[in-house]
């Protein structure tokens, strides 16, 4: 497997573009994106678990009931959620794809991200469609920019891998954050494309499996958004025999999808609103993988841990505290805590009790932009990794007046 460029256009048979419609009047970068597959594709998606779900989620769920899709239309600047005309607007966005590209509206995935509860001015999208469609090509950079809200950089990843049968395949994707991101998925938008031939059922199953260890392990602020989804299109243009069950071919795809989703998850966490540091928590040795996941997520989700990391303060009691309320089944008298970064490695707690350490060395380690918090929770073979970021003044600033 190797990293390649191209994002959602890395795989065969996909084109994309992004244009500026000014859905939010002050916007100066693209805010509408379209991804089109040359041929019909099998499709799968996972969605937010929030009871309040945006109209695009409702429409996409309906369109994906048959496991097929051929295009994705997505806007930023307005979430089209909690609006009386929300469903009609989301459906209209799909119809616009039908009118301009000739793909049936029922084969279109629709997504929106931005402010909740303000009507989406769909006429702005109507006005932008001609330019959007005219420019379709390998414009993955424009598309990745178009889905950004408070993101500070676009998030793309792609890999190439070879199936056991010798066929070369690609998986690529793009994602956006960066607030309202929390565990249990659907906490961001992520669009993945592949030219692999795979059944909708196996695609759904593999997406779910891979997201549990990646997108579902990202937390920025504990808020699970109303709108977010990760979808995958698989158009089969790589030419392999369709994957319909477990085996070496599925394993190869799973590894590729894990790589892309892990990469996007790291970018989402690093670009958390106001973040200056990527925090990674690796928990090993708890009784079950679920305990490891609960523990890892609680640590990177703790406001106190996040603020301490912003300040570069090795206040490990906060990790212990978070582990204690995580809901994970842990023997707190056995916990070890270690911090590492490019600047080194330091153990600060063993068997649930502090050990003497050099504050200067700890400060240097915690001054880096990527910090890993290692939690040793026992002797089992289970492990999990969660991704988060520090809590900074800028998070408060960004969210204190988001709408203006």
CB 4 within 8 A of CB 169: no
Is residue 396 at the binding interface for its own copies, with CB under 8 A as the rule?
yes
Is residue 161 at the binding interface for its own copies, with CB under 8 A as the rule?
no
Is residue 87 at the binding interface for its own copies, with CB under 8 A as the rule?
no
Taking CA 273 as the corner, what is the angle to CA 315 and CA 150, rounded to the nearest 5 degrees?
A: 175
DSSP for 242-297 reads PB-SSSHHHHHHHHHHHHHHHHHHHHHHHTSTT---EEEEEEE--SSHHHHHHHHH
The full 3-state SS of 348-377, as one line of letters, equals: EEECCEECCCCHHHHHHHHCCCEEEEEEEC
Residues β-bridged to residue 17 = 34
Is residue 78 at the binding interface for its own copies, with CB under 8 A as the rule?
no
Rounded distance, CA 38 to CA 295, Å?
43
378 Rama class: left (phi>0) / alpha (psi -120 to 50) / beta: left
Q: CB-based burial of residue 381 (10 Å sphere; 0-12 exposed, 13-18 middle, 19+ buried)?
A: exposed
Judged by CB under 8 A, the stretch of 148-156, 196-204, 247-255, 352-360 that binds its own copies is 352-360
Is residue 389 at the binding interface for its own copies, with CB under 8 A as the rule?
no
Is residue 79 at the binding interface for its own copies, with CB under 8 A as the rule?
yes
Rounded distance, CA 3 to CA 160, Å?
6
Is residue 193 at the binding interface for its own copies, with CB under 8 A as the rule?
no
Say how many residues touch its own copies, by CB under 8 A. Answer: 62
- What is the total residue count of the chain? 404
Residue 176 Cβ vs its own copies, minimum distance, rounded to whole Å: 16
Structure-block tokens of residue 300: 């990177």
Structure-block tokens of residue 285: 């040795």
Residue closer to its own copies, measured from CB, 95 or 394:
394
The full 3-state SS of 225-248, as one line of letters, equals: CCCCEEEEEECCCCCCCCECCCCH
Is residue 361 at the binding interface for its own copies, with CB under 8 A as the rule?
no
Residue 127 Cβ vs its own copies, minimum distance, rounded to whole Å: 24
- Exactly one of 4, 82, 101, 289 binds its own copies (CB under 8 A); that residue is 82
Is residue 352 at the binding interface for its own copies, with CB under 8 A as the rule?
yes
**Per-residue contact flags (x/-) with its own copies for residues 315 to 334, judged by CB under 8 A:** xxxx-xxxxxx----x-x--
Residue 46 Cβ vs its own copies, minimum distance, rounded to whole Å: 15
Binding positions for its own copies, 197-236, rule CB under 8 A: 221-226
CA distances (Å), 185 to each of 45, 215, 299, in order? 11, 6, 17
Judged by CB under 8 A, the stretch of 91-99, 115-123, 132-140, 242-250 that binds its own copies is 115-123
Is residue 353 at the binding interface for its own copies, with CB under 8 A as the rule?
yes
CB 260 within 8 A of CB 254: no
- Exactly one of 58, 118, 290, 347 binds its own copies (CB under 8 A); that residue is 118
Residue closer to its own copies, measured from CB, 217 or 234:
217
- Is 113 designated active site? no
Rounded distance, CA 321 to CA 97, Å?
51
Pick the catalytic residue: 48, 60, 149, 187? Answer: 187
- CA-CA-CA-CA torsion sign (138, 142, 146, 151): positive
Residue closer to its own copies, measured from CB, 52 or 88:
52
Is residue 179 at the binding interface for its own copies, with CB under 8 A as the rule?
yes
Residue closer to its own copies, measured from CB, 70 or 226:
226
Rounded distance, CA 394 to CA 193, Å?
34
Binding positions for its own copies, 279-318, rule CB under 8 A: 301-304, 307-308, 310-313, 315-318
Residue 399 Cβ vs its own copies, minimum distance, rounded to whole Å: 3
Site for its own copies, rule CB under 8 A: 49-53, 79, 81-84, 115-118, 179-180, 182, 221-226, 301-304, 307-308, 310-313, 315-318, 320-325, 330, 332, 349, 352-354, 391-393, 395-404
Active site residues: 187
């Amino acid at each position: 497997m190797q990293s390649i460029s191209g994002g959602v256009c890395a795989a065969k048979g996909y084109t994309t573009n992004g244009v500026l419609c000014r859905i939010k009047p002050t916007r100066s970068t693209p805010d509408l994106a379209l991804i089109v597959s040359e041929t019909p594709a099998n499709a799968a998606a996972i969605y937010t678990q929030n009871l309040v779900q945006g109209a695009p989620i409702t429409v996409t769920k309906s369109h994906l009931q048959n496991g097929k899709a051929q295009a994705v239309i997505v806007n930023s600047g307005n979430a089209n959620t909690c609006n009386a005309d929300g469903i009609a607007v989301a459906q209209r966005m799909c119809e616009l794809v039908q009118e301009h590209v000739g793909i049936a509206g029922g084969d279109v995935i629709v997504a929106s991200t931005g402010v909740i509860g303000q009507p989406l001015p769909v006429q702005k999208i109507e006005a932008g469609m001609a330019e959007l469609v005219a420019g379709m090509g390998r414009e993955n950079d424009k598309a990745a920019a178009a889905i950004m809200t408070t993101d500070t950089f676009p998030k793309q990843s792609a890999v190439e891998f070879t199936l056991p049968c010798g066929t070369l395949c690609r998986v690529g994707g793009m994602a956006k954050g960066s607030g309202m991101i929390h565990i249990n998925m659907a906490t961001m938008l992520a669009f993945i494309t592949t030219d692999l031939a795979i059944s909708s059922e196996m695609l759904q199953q593999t997406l779910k499996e891979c997201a549990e260890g990646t997108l579902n392990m990202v937390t920025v602020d504990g808020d699970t958004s109303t709108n977010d989804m990760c979808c995958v299109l698989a158009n089969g243009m790589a030419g392999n025999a369709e994957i319909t069950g477990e085996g070496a071919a599925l394993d190869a795809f799973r590894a590729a999808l894990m790589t892309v989703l892990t990469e996007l998850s790291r970018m989402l966490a690093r670009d958390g609103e106001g973040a200056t540091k990527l925090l990674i928590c690796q928990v090993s040795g708890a009784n079950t993988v679920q305990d490891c996941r609960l523990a890892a997520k609680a640590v990177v989700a703790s406001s106190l841990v996040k603020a301490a990391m912003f300040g570069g303060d090795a206040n490990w009691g906060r990790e212990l505290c978070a582990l204690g309320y995580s809901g994970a089944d842990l023997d707190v008298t056995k916990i070890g805590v270690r911090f590492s970064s490019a600047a080194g490695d330091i153990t600060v707690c063993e068997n649930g009790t502090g050990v003497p350490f050099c504050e200067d060395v700890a400060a240097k380690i915690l001054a880096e932009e990527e910090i890993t918090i290692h939690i040793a929770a026992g002797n089992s073979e289970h492990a999990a990794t969660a991704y988060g970021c520090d809590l900074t003044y800028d998070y408060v600033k960004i969210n204190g007046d988001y709408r203006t």
